[in-house]
Amino acid sequence: MKPFVLVAGALLLTSLGASSWAQTTPPDQTQAAPGTPAVNTPLGDAPGPSTGVATNGTQGTAGGSTTGLVPVPDYPTAGLADVRERQAADQPVLTLGDAVLQALRNNPTPQAARASVAAALARAGQAASAGKLQVNLSGSESNQRSIIGGNSSGTGTGTGTTVSTSNGLTGFLGGNSAEQLSLNATLPIYSGGRVKNSRKAAEAAARAQLLESQQTEQELAAQTILAYVSVLQNQELLQVANSNLDTSRERRRVAGVRYDAGAAARLEVLRADSDLSSAAQRRIASANGVAQSKAALNILLARAPETPVRVESIQTLVLPTFARFPLADQATAIANGGDIPTSPDLRAIADNSLPSLGASRERINAAEYTVDAQKAQKKPSIGASLTGLLRNPVGTVGRFLLTGGLSVAQVLLDGKRINSQVDEARASLDIARQNLTGQELQTANAIEGSLLSLDSALKRQTSAETAVLSAQEALRAAQLGYTAGAGTQLDVIDAQNALVSVQTDAVNARYQVAQAQVQLAAATAIVGSGSATGNSGLGSSAGTGQSSTVTSSGANQNSGSLGGTNTSTFNGSSSTGSTIGNTGIGNTNIGGTNSNF
């Protein structure tokens, strides 16, 4: 397969990099321990409590009693998921285009579809051969031999003795042999349309199989794109969880220092422990989400699920023309803030270009030709034949014999067999027509659902980004109140958890935009199990407290919904701003750096 050209409609993937609302460690939080920096953790490599700065409350600068203190629990890291991420760090970057190309080349599903096309073309050739000249050559040889036997006799003497005599020989005597060579040629002259319609039915079935193969490749390409985007989404959620863990660990350290100094109650330390435990659990779940999504991507690429893989951040999602995404341009226009086309207009585009609908129409054509072929059995069939015979020895009519003939066959009585075959073919035709109607309805529903999903995802993205700004301000106010003695640590923890929640919503909202764009671009008519690729839908329902699942060839990939962010990096530029910036479809201000998409 030649590499496809990534020139089809580009789907704008708004800010598919590190979180643009990257949260810095609140300055007021460290006032209890001046000069103590927050821990900045690389992706997938968050240090455990044994290497962090958290204490059990007795190492504060003010000293203090250890009576009644609860040591910081030893919270484990994600373990195997973190090992997988470290193994991927040294791997070459897998681009989105390479991932789609590898899936189309190596995944067994499209390969099986292509083999089905070859089989269908072979059946079309078989059907066409029935109306062509047939020439057969045959030969035979025979030998005849005579068997000659002797005579024997016996005589009794009455004295108990017997006298026997024999004469002649037993064996082969004489014989003859004959050889014959025959050349026969037959040519169908008239079949009532049976051969012609059978050939056309087989050709239509082959065209349908080819379109179904293209549909399979399109579905696999869409699944691969979604799996790739899911890896990016889970990695960003892991950054949120890493930052939240760092913040919780620092809060626990400050609580221990305050308790040692006699400036806080033991309850403050216990609350900080509980918050740190929750942050550790979120981080484990997020790291596992990254590993699961990479395993799903590897399965689509026909690789072992544990194969290390490193993806690159993408700004613009370009769909390959080879995969034939009918609505790519329309999805791009909507993502760029253009007017949303009407559903009938989008259905017209899909109706003309969606491979699955074209395959259903070819199945109808094949069924119609099959009906005509069955009807043709009631008509006579005429054929001509010519036979040449070469014999040795020479017969009474000579050594060489040439005969020609014309045959006519007409079914007179068949017990209604042909009528039953015609009825069966008509029923199959009706099934094919109803299947097309059902697919058209499913396609219309997929288009309308994708339009609604894309529109709502864009609205949720704007709302989530606004919520992040509000949550960051609320956290800052809670920290100021706590420092001034007008608030409690519980207020700060609640504000931090609220920020984590809205940051997670914002991450998921931005990737839901991308997922909706892919859905609309593909506009597949597959709505349940049973497709050639095992795809059970191209949707995703990531959100706060929910799990986004994409089923790909039997593999599940889960997008976590937990975390909080501190600092991040986008395309090599450090993003430490405390605001999202002005986000629009086309350009986003990330940490004070303008990025064009």
Helix (H/G/I), strand (E/B), else coil: 173: strand
Among 522, 526, 550, CA closest to 218: 522
Instruction: Tokens 């299947």: give the residue.
Output: 435
| Residue-wise DSSP of 516-547 | HHHHHHH-----SS-STT----S-----TT--
Beta partners for 11? Answer: 317
**Is residue 197 exposed (0-12), middle (13-18) or buried (19+ Cβ within 10 Å)?**
buried
CB 240 within 8 A of CB 567: no
Rounded (5°) CA angle 55-60-63: 130
Report how far residue 398's alpha carbon sits from residue 578's, in angstroms, rounded to the nearest whole number: 108
User: Helix 489-522 vs helix 417-483: angle between axes, to the nearest 10 degrees?
Assistant: 150
Report how far residue 434's alpha carbon sits from residue 362's, in angstroms, rounded to the nearest whole number: 13
pLDDT tens digits for the chain (597 residues)? Answer: 333 333 233 333 333 433 333 333 333 333 333 333 333 333 233 333 333 333 333 333 333 344 445 566 566 666 888 888 889 988 999 988 889 999 999 999 999 999 999 999 999 999 999 889 999 999 888 877 666 555 555 555 555 555 555 555 455 555 677 888 899 999 999 999 999 999 999 999 999 999 999 889 888 988 999 999 999 989 989 988 988 888 888 888 888 888 888 887 888 888 888 888 888 998 999 999 999 999 999 999 999 999 999 998 876 666 666 666 888 888 877 877 778 888 888 888 888 888 999 999 999 999 999 999 999 999 999 999 999 888 877 666 667 888 889 999 999 998 999 999 999 999 999 999 999 999 999 999 989 988 888 888 888 888 888 888 888 888 888 888 888 878 777 788 888 888 888 888 888 888 888 888 888 888 764 433 333 333 333 333 333 233 333 333 333 333 333 233 333 322 333 333 322 222 222 222 223 323 222
H or E element that contains 478: helix 417-483
Cα dist from 517 to 521, 522, 525, whole Å: 6, 9, 16
pLDDT of residue 59: 39
Which amino acid is located at 212 in the chain?
A: E
DSSP 145: E
pLDDT of residue 212: 92
pLDDT of residue 164: 52
User: Strand pairing of 381-395 and 398-409?
Assistant: antiparallel
178: tokens are: 């004959």
Helix (H/G/I), strand (E/B), else coil: 514: helix
Instruction: Tokens 């991507």: give the residue.
Output: 297
